[in-house]
Chain A
């Protein structure tokens, strides 16, 4: 389990995160939602250690991550996988080398075994025959899937996804959502997803965290996110014409 205790973070005097306390459940898809500028990305980067919090603690399985030495942090990071918004695939490496990277870096196994693992991961994200292709030759959706394959290659305990659906068409978004959800349950890992996508919220949101102006504003699951009376959350969820109509229809019923 991952836990945030009293986390605050400021940049140049502007407070981005304000005293945040969250528990992310193991084996579930934890979604962080909120408007642009609400602090989602800063929160995600604080979780993985790319930013250090001004106050508070980030706990991974009871271990205080932000107070560890760099060497201790590296050991915890070997248990993490992360899917970045733009994929962040290594453009000098082909797909096979990208997925193999975390295994080759830290595990001592034969090339044959590593290759088997790479093919298993690529198979898992429904990508075949792309091993020798370069990231620039793939579509946005395929690149996201390669990023997921790379993130799960080293058998992580924690999976972080920063807006995995951004820039994708609705059908591919659903595929990516399903993939992340399936992997989370299959491997029993703690998954944390930053998203704007309301479809993801209602499909895979087992633990939803709504951030508003850097504060934890609401927490619940996909069943009660649509029926909450929290004004700011409702304004956020039902802001498009389509969602407004759905809300009106639901209210009439």
Chain B
């Protein structure tokens, strides 16, 4: 009962913070500059990890397909086709979102938490700055705009990695590409983008809430950063399940 009460209290505080955060920025020029900076830190700097993870996931998915679907009745394009579906619908938008939750959520929570405990947020508030909007909104927009690009990149790199993995296990490039192109529907990509957008919102808002409302000292920065990663990962998985049921 007490846990339920705490959950609703936290959820209420989260919604109130988001209400403040989504207010119109006090200075649009500074907002744009901050958003570009956040895109660099949260998005561009995540490209290397996204590429590395994607190429290995892509290769592993295709190898698993080859090993588990070895049957003469299956056509040879099945490996490329199934791998494409798996990468676009699940692996890229969900697994990469979990990786981004690990990298970006901890970064956002620890940055805001450090600013909170060193009184930088208080200093801004005393100056008359709407700190929720100034600090959180650029992060949310940066994630919303950049994470879908990362997922497109991840799908592309994953398919290339799959090609390498397949060819190393005797799959011909022709059949792999044939499978990738077969019955391609843009709906799958649109679904992946919607899911990524929702995940971006989950990561940026939960991490911001954890960091912004932090109380205590430097130990708390670590605790809240971990909470930000765990909570956003769990919520991503729950929403993923709900969206899969809803969209298919």
- Indicate if the CB atoms of B118 and A77 lie closer than 8 Å: no
A52-60, A85-93, A198-206, A212-220 - the one binding chain B: A85-93
Distance, CA A98 to CA B120, complexed state (A): 11
Distance, CA A106 to CA B27, complexed state (A): 7
Within 8 A of B (CB), among A54-80: 70, 73-78, 80
Determine how close the nearest CB of chain A comes to the CB of B75; give it in whole angstroms.
56
Tell yes or no: B241 within 8 A of A by CB: no
Tell yes or no: B45 within 8 A of A by CB: no
Distance, CA A70 to CA B26, complexed state (A): 13
Within 8 A of A (CB), among B101-134: 115, 118-120, 122-123, 125-130
Known: A104-B27, A104-B30, A106-B26. A74 touches B120 (CB 8 A): no
- Indicate if the CB atoms of B127 and A77 lie closer than 8 Å: yes
Interface size class of B (residues with CB under 8 A): 10 to 19
Within 8 A of A (CB), among B23-76: 26-27, 30
User: Between A and B, how many residue pairs show CB distances below 8 Å?
Assistant: 59
For B127, give its contact among A80, A85, A91 (CB under 8 Å): A80
- Indicate if the CB atoms of B30 and A82 lie closer than 8 Å: no
Contacts of A77 in B (CB 8 A): 125-128
Known: A74-B130, A77-B125. A105 touches B120 (CB 8 A): no
Known: A78-B127, A101-B127, A102-B127. A84 touches B122 (CB 8 A): yes
Contacts of A73 in B (CB 8 A): 128
Distance, CA A106 to CA B122, complexed state (A): 17
B129's nearest neighbour on chain A, judged by CB, is A105
Residue of B27, B30, B115, B123 most packed against chain A (CB within 10 A): B123
Contacts of B123 in A (CB 8 A): 82, 84, 88, 90
Contacts of A89 in B (CB 8 A): 120
Contacts of A82 in B (CB 8 A): 123, 126-127
Determine how close the nearest CB of chain A comes to the CB of B211; give it in whole angstroms.
14
- Indicate if the CB atoms of A75 and B128 lie closer than 8 Å: yes
Distance, CA A26 to CA B72, complexed state (A): 92
Distance, CA A76 to CA B126, complexed state (A): 9
- Indicate if the CB atoms of B118 and A91 lie closer than 8 Å: yes
Q: Interface 1/0s, chain A 163-176, versus B by CB < 8 A?
A: 00000000000000
Distance, CA A169 to CA B128, complexed state (A): 32
Known: A77-B127, A77-B128, A102-B127. 17 other contacts (CB 8 A): A50-B126, A73-B128, A81-B127, A82-B126, A84-B119, A84-B122, A84-B123, A86-B118, A86-B119, A88-B119, A88-B120, A88-B123, A91-B120, A101-B127, A105-B27, A105-B30, A105-B128
> B residues engaging A (CB < 8 A)?
26-27, 30, 115, 118-120, 122-123, 125-130
Some 7 contacts from A to B, beta carbons below 8 A apart, are A75-B128, A77-B127, A78-B127, A78-B128, A82-B123, A85-B119, A90-B115
> A residues engaging B (CB < 8 A)?
45, 48-50, 70, 73-78, 80-82, 84-86, 88-91, 101-102, 104-106, 154, 160
